[in-house]
Amino acid sequence: LAMLQQIEPSSSTLQLVASDMSDIMDNLDTRDLDLGDGDYDTTDTNAPEGLPFKEIYNTVGFKETEAKVYLSSPITVKILEVERFTSSMPAVYKIEMKHGEFTWLVKRKEKHFIDLHRELRTYKTFMKIPLPRRYLSASCAYSQFIFYLHCKQLEDYLNTVLAMQMYRNYHATMEFIDVSQLSFIHDLGPKGLEGMVLKRSGGHRIPGMNCCGRSRMCYRWSKRTRIPNTASVWTVSPGLRWLFLLLMFNILRSLVLKCNSYRHARWWGQSIEGFVQKNGSAFLKDHRFGSFARVEVNIPAKWYVNGKTYMEDVANALEEAKEEIFITDWWLSPEIFLKRPVVEGNRWRLDCILKRKAQQGVRIFVMLYKEVELALGINSGYSKRTLLRLHPNIKVMRHPDHVSSAVYLWAHHEKIIVIDQSVAFVGGIDLAYGRWDDREHRLTDVGSVTLSHLEQAAAASPSMAAQANGSGTFSQSNGKGVFTVADSMDQPRLKSHGRLRRTRMSIRRHLQKHGLAHPDSDSDLEHEECEFCKSACTTQQMHRTRLSSDPVQNEPAGVRELHGNTRFWHGKDYCNFVHKDWIQLDKPFDDFIDRHKTPRMPWHDIASVVHGKAARDVARHFIQRWNFTKLVKPKYRSLSYPYLLPKSHTTAGEQRYQVPNCIPTKVQILRSASDWSAGIKYHEESIHNAYVHVIKNSQHFIYIENQFFISCADNKYVFNQIGDAIAERIIRAYRAGKTYRVYVVTPLLPGFEGDINTGGGSAIQAVMHFNYSHVKPLTHTDLEGKLVTELIYVHSKMLIADDNTVVIGSANINDRSMLGKRDSEVAVIVEDSEMVDSVMDGEPYKAGKYALQLRLECFKTILGTYTDPTIDVSDPISDHFYKEVWMSTSARNASIYQRVFRCLPSSDVRNIMELEGYLAKAGLDKEDPARAQEELKKIRGFLVQFPLQFLSEQNLLPPIGSKEAMVPMEVWT
């Protein structure tokens, strides 16, 4: 809206304004509002220094007296100017208000002052406060009609009213000065223009009446308070809590407001436009790679290889949450333990952590992918019900509704955890079964446990022996003072096995009562526990009790309390999903495969954590998805499921908690999102764009770990450009005569149930058809006296380029993840700003600290450097490393595994007909176990070359008539 030119004030104009002002002042007398003999209390003892962000969840009706609105500091008023465009129009006063750190402007006419004064006098009478006996006469109060004097008198009037707590908190006053319960919340950022306007409700048009244009018959207009902040504009119903939220970044919504005059509309238009351009312009445009988020500098970031350290940091961050926790996963298992081995009972079990934080007042919001149950068995319905039962502060949504949205093929695949919109974990690790692992990638977990000496003494005491005998879970002493946890074929069943029955006088509570032990969790001292968190006082927990003077009682979980091979994977967490998919997820602590016969499948994964403004961007994405889901799913429209508000980037640097050992970096948040997943008008594929850009601009090498590698576009079935970008970059390096390396690590087989010894399931074959190449990891061990081997399932989604740029996220290298219109994904691109000395192709090189450390950790893990320190992985592109370390190690490992186990896949099997003959010949593990053991000692790390000729003569597309053949080809790509 164009600003009309103000008339230059002349003497006649000032006389008109002064005349109007004198009329106002004749009607305004603050002594009319005195609380008795002119005395009143100007202090508000209940006003806080600052309003916490969680107050957004405690809003009440606009006219409710218990609303918390103001800070402890006073409100000051200053009239900046008086506008009068024509002699027939009333003057408008432009008033500057200040309250603490907040400054804002309001515009009011003379009638607004009179209306406010009348409202306050009525309110005073209603409250039965005696009217004052003294009045101020006009002749005494106003002897001169001087313009600036009257401005000062109006300022004094407003300052006097706002100094009275009773009147300041009255809704008419708040409406006059344009404030609400959200105005002075620090984390919402600067205060913009607020006020009552009429909003057109687009959902209430009468069908078939569009011909009437914008007439009042076709639309319903609702009175709303409009409040902008740096990342959004929202509206609040005067009589309700949250009614509607409009996020101003890429969401498919339009907003039509109606004001009572053209001048009013111009003021609102100018204010919103000016506020957004000043404070929120970054949210209204695309950024590098077409991302919704801009590049942020000096962001503390940290990487994670495998789930052990990741889940430990997640657990610690969850414990530090004060206001909000956001979680979204493709799959979430409430009963998983985030810290292992389990030596503190249920303290670090996910559902118990969330319950504990909810009881402390933290609001927890969880979004789960609602699977097609016929295709997937992750049972998100069970996860939702389990979490909702924990506490009313936990809210869970599932999306999409397949019938109403017509979304059957695509999934919400992102994995995000956000703490107070200030710490954000992003990567490929779901908080789900099978994901916890460390660099050892163990294949077995039968669960023998020996106890420390102090705990043995406690276990041998009569009181403990009496309890232990009741459970039948301890063996007799072996004569050496060592007790072991008994093992059985159906272990572990934490709901019955290894558990002490809770009695009125439990051992642990008895020791705590007498000061001999400290509680492991906040809930240990509670009288009641939820059914999900009271089940497992495990044997490890029981024997962890120590004297309070023990100097090691405060050591981290798993340190010094237990010795031997403790159990790490309980119940459904011990899994091998290629051998057998999960079943009966509502029985979390029951095994579903025999851990004495079947090795688990190790899980290799990558994740990251970012802070500050980058974490705000991750939170914005979550909030956008949450609010969109609330809009489209009627069951979530109730007030019990609130709309979420993004925090301002202006306060992002005020970190209350930071994950230890972070590195300052430059970070940008990327995503794959579209109309079905996030409600945006134009789809976003910034992850895909970033991958292609980084590959094309890499100078020395790229290193990729990914669950899938389905690329090299044929514009028929596969459309992403990542494989083409790699091929073009290799050709460019060859023509320039420069050394350039490409490393790709993927799992040996796709993650679908099926027996590869019989040709595999149709799903495995379908993905192998598109995913056939590269280097894969494998490992081995001894299980019950029998040599066994299993692939390490690479679930990572990571790209490292030139030891200075890293992309980590949830996106696989396939069309589902990369094209934006299919699965929803989130990733981070991290560029180093702190450099360290390194080497590249034999020459000194300045590498990024973040990228270099991550690449070294990955190389050391998969190449076996931790067991053989003679292996040098510092130079990623030298001929010596590439030929003598990388290629030699993967080839040697593959050859040994084939001789010992006759494992598949193998290049000796080119079609299904050759499969039976190949398997008929036994490997060394059966013919000569001793020699097999000697051969396996030559294995270094986990890397093996993929046999490129495996089933090369076989058509791997799903056979006609199979259920896999009935779904579109896009599902597999």
pLDDT in tens, 928-952: 999 999 999 999 999 998 777 777 7
CB 848 within 8 Å of CB 832: yes
* Residue whose token pair is 């984390």: 187
Closest among 711, 686, 811 to 414, alpha carbons compared: 811
Report the percentage of the chain scoring pLDDT > 70.
69
Is residue 129 scored above 80 in pLDDT?
no
At 382 the pLDDT is 94
At 235 the pLDDT is 52
At 947 the pLDDT is 76
pTM, two decimal places: 0.81
Is residue 317 scored above 80 in pLDDT?
yes
Query: What class has domain 11-186?
Result: alpha beta
In the structure encoding, which two tokens stand for residue 531, read together? 């059914």
Lowest-pLDDT range of 222-226, 418-422, 475-479: 475-479
Give the three-state DSSP class for 847.
Answer: strand
At 249 the pLDDT is 41
At 479 the pLDDT is 38
Mean pLDDT across 367-386: 89
Q: How many CB atoms lie within 10 A of CB 15?
A: 12
pLDDT range class, residue 377, cuts 50, 70, 90: confident
pLDDT single digits (tens) 588-630 = 888 889 988 999 999 999 999 999 999 999 999 999 999 999 9
Is residue 721 scored above 50 in pLDDT?
yes
Closest among 814, 817, 773 to 684, alpha carbons compared: 817
pLDDT single digits (tens) 852-906 = 999 999 999 999 999 888 999 999 999 999 999 999 999 999 999 999 998 877 7
Is residue 751 scored above 60 in pLDDT?
no
Mean pLDDT across 677-695: 95
Which strand (E) or helix (H) includes residue 115?
Answer: helix 110-126
Lowest-pLDDT range of 553-557, 753-757, 914-918: 553-557
At 913 the pLDDT is 82
C-alpha distances (whole Å) from 390 to each of 361, 364, 380, 725 are 13, 11, 16, 48
Burial of 928 per CB tally in 10 Å (0-12, 13-18, 19+) = middle
Beta bridge partners of 775: 745, 945
Closest among 542, 427, 525, 526 to 483, alpha carbons compared: 542
Helix, strand, coil percentages in the chain from 3-state DSSP, rounded to 5? 35, 20, 45
Give residue limits of the domains in the chain.
11-186, 195-206+216-285, 290-440+602-636, 450-573
In the structure encoding, which two tokens stand for residue 833, read together? 């700003």
Q: How many CB atoms lie within 10 A of CB 202?
A: 12
Closest among 236, 242, 942, 100 to 602, alpha carbons compared: 942
Mean pLDDT across 204-231: 52
Backbone angles phi, psi at 133, to 5 degrees: -90, -15
Q: Do domains 11-186 and 290-440+602-636 have the same CATH topology?
A: no
- Alpha-carbon gap, residue 475 to 487, rounded angstroms: 9
β-strands 775-783, 805-809: how paired? unpaired
Q: How many residues are recorded in the chain? A: 973
Is residue 465 scored above 50 in pLDDT?
no
pLDDT range class, residue 772, cuts 50, 70, 90: very low
At 955 the pLDDT is 72
pLDDT range class, residue 332, cuts 50, 70, 90: very high
CB 507 within 8 Å of CB 540: no
CB 389 within 8 Å of CB 354: no
Is residue 690 scored above 60 in pLDDT?
yes
- Cα four-point dihedral sign 276, 280, 283, 289: positive
- Alpha-carbon gap, residue 566 to 562, rounded angstroms: 7
Which range of 49-63, 122-136, 950-964 scores highest in mean pLDDT? It is 49-63
Is residue 828 scored above 80 in pLDDT?
yes
pLDDT range class, residue 201, cuts 50, 70, 90: low
Instruction: Report the Cα–Cα distance between both ends of the chain, in Å, rounded.
Output: 49
Output 57 or 847, whichever has higher pLDDT. 847
Average pLDDT, the chain: 77
What CATH number does the domain located at 290-440+602-636 have?
3.30.870.10
Beta bridge partners of 826: 671
Closest among 933, 830, 418, 827 to 657, alpha carbons compared: 418
At 109 the pLDDT is 84
Backbone angles phi, psi at 418, to 5 degrees: -125, 130
Vertex 321 angle, CA 320 and 322, to 5°: 115
Give the three-state DSSP class for 349.
Answer: strand
Mean pLDDT across 905-920: 81
In the structure encoding, which two tokens stand for residue 131, read together? 């009217």
CB 67 within 8 Å of CB 59: yes
Is residue 477 scored above 50 in pLDDT?
no
At 148 the pLDDT is 61
At 739 the pLDDT is 96
